[in-house]
Structure 1
């Protein structure tokens, strides 16, 4: 295609497994790894670079909508040919700024077309795309910038810019800063607006960029993803071109995605793109299937998400647990506002929906004659309320959802598919789908990958090890940690506990590092106990067991509270679901402060009975919860108790609530 910069993929760049000098892993930014190719399976697909994948889609679907961004006067759209050309412009501009091979481009800001264009542009220019959480402190940004040798920072606002200004004196590689939203308020010699940055591209020829693209290999690093932990510096996970392109293709191969011209997928990006799992299902999957990726406004997680969903109407949707909780609360609130007759209709429809979908899980596809009536009266209105009326696939990322939430949505004919994956396996290893669905299971592995459970206990629970082309290259500049994660036979030690049933469905049962060792030496996996308590105490949002080196287990409970639409912080007001449950207990509580400190004896007794019921299901007295307390606030990302995917940070919680934990064991006889 003359004049567009489109070029044919170079299959000769595919690496030979026998020539990869560093085996299956490396800790060097410019290292090459042996790909886990396997004949007669999907793992034998020809290796591609990121550019190969983008170019293939652009060539075939040049004029399909690629990106949509909300602006004051409507949506700004880019077609795939425009998207590709903007990525090439960004790549040239990075080269003009002096981006060196395998050096980083740090991207920190809200999801937008500039975010993904900067990421792809960095990769095409031979650099490393480095997504950075917007909530990171200047100190964390400095650690990341130094370890990934960031040459250029791309930020969205003055708030993020000030973090870089604060540390730029110590960043020896920094050559430029780009701000892509808000008007720049200060003058710096190396500071550019997005338009001024792209204008730099005119000084770099297509031939120079093409030489850089031609030099790239599928088994080389193109992306760094930082994993933040409660202790120690952040780990830089190195992902290759092949990690991204093959994992994306394997995911698309296994799920029900459409492709033009028959039908185009519509996706909404609102979760932080600094997570590789979010990138995989937003950026990379959209490119692979030529889908239209729309960007929600920055305040999506602070209250505007449902409005945007109703406007965009995605065909696939990914939510984290608190988003699903919020949606559940919205539907329940709408149903409670209906007439008594209509509420009975909803109850009838949801009982039928749950019963029918349970049978579907077991392969019984017959649908009751009145299922269509239930869909018309209850299911469709609920989906329309949530903006999911065109959605065909629903996913949960992050921490697994409790059974009652899964069953509630299943009753609305909304099967939520669980995923399992680590940053170290490019964000996904197993997932549920329409053909592979079981409650509480995260489904089956990607084609061409393998799972084994080692050191199983009597219940079949053991350490999860995985293998496949989605396994990361290694930790940047950290041989020891890489050796700990990857065995000599190239299996990844996930650090998670799980079991495989007879049909190869994987169930996650906790984490090795979360195991609590009591003073007696008894080892307790807290996750099943916590889930059991949440089942018996549906008022509880989070249950966190404590008891390391203590004589017995105790629990910190948070109750389901509304989220402030502006700050994302939990409010004092209980959710409508929690209020409804209180009414069933004959309690008049509507706020958290009505309950904490045992102010509401009815709720306190309900929690006591729930924990008693949970304790009755354990096989050992050591696994019983002896004491508990309801905390004065729910956990949140903003509060620091939760990670970006809403997984509880146990070490942070233990530190934040030292006083409460100390009171559990303040009696001398306990020691």
Structure 2
């Protein structure tokens, strides 16, 4: 591993801000009902020290695992820091997991305790928490948790703060990040304090984070990008973080934060676009943007309405960004930098260079990252000082994740162009062959399908069929419209035209036989998508594959799948 400055490790950054900026407001937490609670660095450090003292008093063996199950909030970050300060390892869980997945992670990690915080569906998740596991609630935890478990505020009130500055070494295990798992059980990725510090060193060479920046933390902190960019970016720079209250208040949360750095997944960037189009039809918006003076006013007005008028760096990742979507935002005056990475490399692999149009790629590798393409399989392979220590309690999978000469196998297919920019062409395992012996890479076709205003998510599938087919899930607004017969007919015609347009851009063997319309939402609860909105292809096959041959043989271009 390349050496990192000890002063840049997570806990040392907390100690730095505790001394250098004790009265600076650094976290802004909505409490509900319009009430906002701010925390200074001094207050953050005090509560972290008190909670760390409580955890240390439990007498667990140093390096024990302690879980965090909560939506993003100030206490999430303070819990993580307290776990580290007490000499332990944090295990974050997505706040939308099914109970059996929660049970698997808590059992597999042998968690000694669990912070159970802000959650929307606790009653559904509760059966996944093993009986007898000590739990600690947050002020915004569900009533059942607040009433039956020790509370954050009560612990901090009675516990004296831990004194001194416990130092955790760069080589020490910091956290287990359980992959969201598009296939199979989640695996616990082991990452060290040094890996996080190095990832920030590399990351800020391309995303120039400063102490004057503001960010809104709303994507799950259990996800590697939010963990690196938001949590560790905050600790590195001392910037101010805002938290989102709920889906319903998200527009107001954005307006409150007016983030200068904003990261989102493609599905949410599409939703923002659809919201704009709902107010200004696409053709009219395009016309207005083309008029010099008026166009500039419209751009500012639209970005201000989104809460992104102060955004100086926008980024996307976790799934491919459709080229048409990137182009739309660039014309709006908000170019999106597309990044690529994995939990196994702390998401620090590739990112387009701000100020440079590298659309259609995920840019060059970060400084210090090496990349190559396997000549036989086309797989992207990389190595850097941010690579994982391995999968927790799984030496077989740990060895399989790397080549014999130490390069991480990403499982993604790609190409490097003459400028060193990486083009991702799909997943190695996602490729499928039609009955005509032709291979189909679904991801580029899906990028085009999802650009219809009624489509929330989609999958291209059809192994061993004569031609592939597309399955599209309608968004809530389109589902509501489809209940009216006339509107349904109009929507069907629009999707048929969309299919025709997409097929016109594809090679003959790639062209879709039909679009299958699904009106039942694909959600985390029904186990069809991951918490980062990636569709689980194996679940799609389980649910729909029995119909594939019938759909292909029907001769229809658009087929409505019964809910």
Does 2:159 match 1:201? yes
Alpha-carbon distance between aligned partners in 2 of 1:510 and 1:93, rounded to the nearest angstrom: 47
Query: 1:379–1:624: structure 2 CA closer, same or farther, 3 Å change rule?
Result: closer
Per-residue Cα deviation, 1:293-340 (whole angstroms, up to 9, x for no partner): 01110x23xx32112111221111112223222221232233349xxx
Task: Report matched runs for 1:258-657 at 5 Å.
Answer: 258-259=210-211, 264-297=212-245, 299-300=246-247, 303-336=248-281, 346-351=285-290, 370=292, 373-374=293-294, 376-455=296-375, 462-519=378-435, 521-534=437-450, 540-562=455-477, 572-573=479-480, 590-591=481-482, 594=485, 602-603=493-494, 605-614=496-505, 617-618=506-507, 621-633=508-520, 635-637=522-524, 640-657=527-544
For residue 21 of structure 1, what is the aligned residue in structure 2? none
| Structure 1 unaligned spans of 5+ | 1-34, 38-43, 338-342, 353-369, 563-570, 574-589
CA contact (8 A) 1:444 1:504 kept: yes
TM-score by length of structure 1 reads 0.75
CA distance in 1, matches of 2:28, 2:454: 39
RMSD: 3.0
Deviations 1:67-88 (A, max 9, x none): 1111346421112222222222
1:65 paired with 2:25, answer yes
Contact 1:97 1:176 in 2 (8 A): no
Say yes or no: does 1:106 pair with 2:67. yes
Q: Is the 8 A contact 2:94 2:220 kept in 1?
A: yes
Q: Deviations over 1:478-519 (max 9, x none)?
A: 111111112232211100111121111212111112111334
Distance 1:289 1:539, change over 3 A: same
Q: Distance in 2 between matches of 1:186 and 1:240?
A: 31
Residues 251 and 307 in structure 2, CA contact (< 8 A), matched pair in contact too: yes
CA distance in 2, matches of 1:380, 1:112: 30
Q: TM-score scaled to structure 2, two decimals?
A: 0.89
Mean CA deviation greater in 193-202 or 604-613: 604-613
Distance of 2:482 and 2:55 partners within structure 1 = 52
Shift of 1:397: 2.6
How far 1:432 moved relative to its partner? 2.1
C-alpha spacing 1:98/1:417, structure 2 compared with 1 (3 Å): same
1:663 matches 2:554: no
Larger radius of gyration: 1
Give yes or no for contact 2:259–2:308 (8 Å, CA) kept in 1: yes
Whether contact under 8 Å (1:103, 1:148) holds in the other structure is: no
User: Which aligned pairs between 1:78-97 and structure 2 lie closer than 5 A?
Assistant: 78-97=39-58
Q: SS at 2:66's partner residue?
A: strand
| Cα distance between partner residues in 2 of 1:521 and 1:483 | 33
The CA distance in 1 between the partners of 2:143 and 2:476, in whole Å, is 38
Pairing 1:165-314 to 2, within 5 Å after superposition: 167-169=129-131, 174-182=133-141, 184-185=143-144, 191-199=149-157, 201-202=159-160, 205-206=162-163, 210=165, 213-214=166-167, 216-259=168-211, 264-297=212-245, 299-300=246-247, 303-314=248-259
Equivalent residues of 2:513, 2:552 under 8 A apart: no
Does the 8 A contact of 2:10 with 2:235 survive in 1?
no
Structure-1 separation of matches of 2:206 and 2:136:
40
Task: Describe the superposition over 1:143-201 as per-residue Cα deviations: whole angstroms up to 9, x where unpaired.
Answer: 111221211111125853884576433x6xx3444344247547988x20111222453
- Report the secondary structure of 1:168's partner residue: coil
User: Secondary structure of 1:253's match?
Assistant: coil
Q: 1:512, 1:410 → 2: CA distance?
A: 30
Q: Using the alignment, how far apart are the partners of 1:188 and 1:624 within structure 2?
A: 57
For the structure 1 residues 85 and 600, does the alpha-carbon distance in structure 2 shift closer, same or farther, using more than 3 Å as the test?
closer
Given that residues 540 and 558 in structure 1 are in contact (C-alpha distance below 8 angstroms), is that contact kept between their aligned partners in structure 2?
Answer: yes
> 5+ unaligned residues in a row in structure 2: which ranges?
555-563
Contact kept? 1:596, 1:632, Cα under 8 Å: no
